[in-house]
Amino acid sequence: MLKAKILKHAGDIEQAAMFMNEARTLDTADRFVNCKCAKYYLRSSAIDTAIETAALFTREGLPPLQTMDEMQCMWFQLEMARAFHRLGKLGEALQKLHEIDQHFVDIIDDQFDFHTYCMRKMTLRAYIGVLKLEDKLRDHPFYSACAKLAIEIYVYLHDNPSAKSAKLNGPTAPEEQLSASELKKLHRKQKKAQLKAQAAKAAEEKTRESKTHGKGGGGEEDKKVEEREPKFDPDKLLQTDKPLEEAVKFLVPLQTLSPGNVATHTLAYEIHSRRRRFLIMLQALKRLHAIDPDDGDFHRILVDFVLTVETTRASLPEPVLEVITGTLPGLTGGLELTQLNQRFLDEHQHSLPHLIPGCRALYRLYPDAKERALSCICSLSDKLRGRTLKRCIEIHSLLQSGEFGDYSDHIKSYARSCSALFPLATTFKPTEPPDKQKAESRNEPLASNSIDQDLSSATEQRLNLD
């Protein structure tokens, strides 16, 4: 388990999942290790393997996903949604996210069932505590994470209507965030997943038939339970005509119960900027400024808002333009955008989380300053704060998305630099040789002593870099 955790934080989630599975096999009766193993498989996008692992502790005779839904196992559904999103299966991801949202609806509806019982038993103190909990139920971290991902998907569907008509068998949605090697891995996983799904379906039908014949009269009832239709259809969720309105449904509880969260107002801006609701966009900016005026997301969308207002000034109603003109100086400090962005870069020149939005804004303001923006954002100086694997992957994804233009040389050189800094991270590694691909297709982990050597060499390289 320790090796698996180290590999996960080092960026090799596939090997981490294999070692966690090895730990699970040492004690197959340990539910905790089984859950950790299933989570690691989901993090590596091996959804079918994760379901098979979780099924070892679910109710026998029922499909594991149905059992998970009945048990309101939200962590599993959330990880499944993230895995589907990474694979580009947006309909399936939305299905899991709506199932999580339905759990919160069911919990709220359960108040009516418990009211009579609590009043009769006179457990008033505990009952009042439950009522207070229900008032802020959607402030739960699971709902926040669920709503954030759902909003991101619906915004993507609004920006890319073609994604609705395409049958997403590959990583079309987050493709801009994946390297060539990752895309090849996903294609291989999808082929293996299809074969596994067919085999699992055949085995499940065979088991169902045997149980139906063995149980006599009760078999029909069991069969009906097993074949229960899912609550949400992935295709219908994907084919929505109003994705932004669906996104607003997830946003409203966040605005009510999580007003102090930066992500709440960032998501609100992303939605309403596409609806051209300028006053609501301005409201989100003011709330972000009140939370943290130095936040990178606030700076990024502030630049976007000012540029959007400048390009649409002629079509804005006079009262709206008057409100915007009177409010913006308090947000920008009375500075022009170029001065504001330069001050932001100077004040946070040693903070990588701030350099990312600053360089993105610099390129938007001055497309000719591409080289300067790239050299700044691709720097891996030892003086930088926040030089984490997560931030480096974010920058690598930005370069691949083409936001700074087609710069394949910068992508390769940055990947090499990140690979030296994080030797075990698979994101920055080049395409794997055929012999390793064959080993992966057999789902065989590398030798334990090989991993030990990689960990020790990675530590030595990190010490030399530091």
Tens digit of pLDDT at every position of the chain (466 positions) = 999 999 999 999 999 999 999 999 999 999 999 999 999 999 999 999 999 999 999 888 888 888 898 899 999 999 999 999 999 999 999 999 999 999 999 988 887 777 777 777 777 888 888 888 888 889 999 999 999 999 999 999 999 888 876 544 444 444 445 555 566 666 666 666 666 656 665 665 665 565 555 444 444 444 445 556 778 889 999 999 999 999 999 999 999 999 999 999 999 999 999 999 999 999 999 999 999 999 999 999 999 999 999 999 989 999 999 999 999 999 998 889 999 999 999 999 999 999 999 999 999 998 888 888 888 988 888 889 999 999 999 999 988 888 887 777 778 889 999 999 999 999 888 755 444 544 444 444 444 555 555 555 555 555 454 4
Report yes or no: 296 and 354 within 8 Å, Cβ to Cβ. yes
Separation CA 447–CA 459 (nearest Å): 19
Separation CA 341–CA 331 (nearest Å): 13
Separation CA 444–CA 183 (nearest Å): 20
pTM assigned to the model: 0.80
Tens digit of each residue's pLDDT (9 = 90 or more) over 392-402:
999 999 888 88
The residue type of 149 is L
Token pair belonging to 337 = 């955008």
Question: Could you give phi then psi for residue 224, rounded to 5 degrees?
Answer: -65, -40
Which H, E and C letters describe the chain, residue by residue? CHHHHHHHHHCCHHHHHHHHHHHHHHCCCCHHHHHHHHHHHHHCCCHHHHHHHHHHHCCCCCCHHHHHHHCCCHHHHHHHHHHHHHHCCHHHHHHHHHHHHHHHHHHHHHHHHHHHHHHHHCCHHHHHHHHHHHHCHHHCHHHHHHHHHHHHHHHHHHHCCHHHHCCCCCCCCCHHHCCHHHHHHHHHHHHHHHHHHHHHHHHHHHHHHHHHHHHCCHHHHHHHHHCCCCCCCHHHHHCCCCHHHHHHHHHHHHHHHCCCCHHHHHHHHHHHHHCCCHHHHHHHHHHHHHHCCCCHHHHHHHHHHHHHHHHCHHHCCHHHHHHHHHHHHHHHCCCCHHHHHHHHHHHCCCEHHHHHHHHHHHHHHCHHHHHHHHHHHCCCCCCCECCCHHHHHHHHHHHHHCCCCCCHHHHHHHHHHHHHHCCCCHHHCCCCCHHHHHHHHCCCCCCHHHHHHHHHHHHHHHHHHC
148: left (phi > 0), else alpha (psi -120 to 50), else beta?
alpha
Could you say which architecture CATH assigns to the domain 80-182+231-258? Alpha Horseshoe (1.25)
Separation CA 398–CA 455 (nearest Å): 28
Tens digit of each residue's pLDDT (9 = 90 or more) over 286-330:
999 999 999 999 999 999 999 999 999 989 999 999 999 999 999
Separation CA 376–CA 345 (nearest Å): 10
Determine the pLDDT at residue 209.
60
**Domain locations along the chain:** 80-182+231-258
Length of the chain: 466
Determine the pLDDT at residue 463.
45
End-to-end CA distance of the chain: 27
Determine the pLDDT at residue 128.
86
Determine the pLDDT at residue 409.
76
Separation CA 466–CA 456 (nearest Å): 15
